[in-house]
């Protein structure tokens, strides 16, 4: 039996590459707020256009798919100090919170969450989540908040 996987951020570079590599081996449902790019190998019936801030639409999609696992790659990743902090918060933190609340509602218990190593101080050894963080710009501050929420999520009823 193939797991049903919902891949958020499927039109981004990492999501497109993941889908391109695994679309034949896994039962992947793609979700993004933009249309798939040329990297994406997807079946039209398996693509859902949705902004994670649209909680009702996201809820309907998750109800319809009934995924076993959600791989969450959807986020605003542009490092640009001119973009308001509120936009980063809304597009990353609020969107992730919506996703987690809907997962809870429909008893989806497996989440793979991707972030960036750029929140850590540079070092020559292998990085660990226990390493000290650096806080230099809004993107990194946002990633720190997401990382803290992930720790909370890890200690809740999810695996």
Q: One digit per residue, pLDDT tens: the chain, 159 residues?
A: 688 999 999 988 888 888 888 888 899 999 999 887 655 555 667 899 999 999 999 999 999 999 999 999 987 765 555 667 677 777 788 899 999 999 999 999 999 988 665 566 666 777 676 777 665 555 555 666 666 555 555 555 554
Q: CA angle at residue 98 from 95 to 103, to 5 degrees? A: 130
- Tell me the C-alpha to C-alpha distance, in Å, between residue 55 and each of 23, 26, 61, 100: 26, 26, 10, 11
- Tell me the C-alpha to C-alpha distance, in Å, between residue 111 and each of 82, 85, 120, 158: 32, 26, 22, 8
Q: How many angstroms separate the CA atoms of 15 and 112, rounded?
A: 12
Q: Note the pLDDT of residue 120.
A: 60
Which two tokens mark 57?
Answer: 């639409």
Q: Note the pLDDT of residue 159.
A: 45
pTM of the model: 0.74
**50: closest CA among 59, 42, 58, 40?**
58
């Amino acid at each position: 039996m193939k797991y049903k996987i919902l891949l958020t951020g499927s039109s981004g570079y990492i999501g497109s590459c993941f889908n391109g590599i695994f679309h034949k081996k896994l039962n992947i449902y793609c979700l993004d707020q933009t249309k798939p790019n040329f990297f994406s190998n997807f079946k039209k019936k398996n693509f859902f256009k949705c902004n994670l801030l649209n909680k009702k639409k996201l809820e309907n999609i998750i109800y319809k798919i009934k995924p076993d696992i959600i791989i969450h790659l959807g986020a605003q990743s542009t490092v640009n100090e001119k973009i308001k902090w509120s936009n980063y918060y809304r597009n990353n933190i609020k969107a992730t919170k919506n996703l987690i609340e809907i997962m809870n509602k429909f008893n989806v218990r497996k989440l793979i969450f991707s972030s960036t190593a750029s929140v850590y101080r540079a070092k020559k050894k292998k990085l660990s989540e226990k390493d000290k963080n650096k806080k230099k710009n809004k993107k990194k501050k946002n990633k720190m908040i997401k990382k803290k929420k992930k720790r909370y999520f890890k200690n809740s009823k999810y695996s």
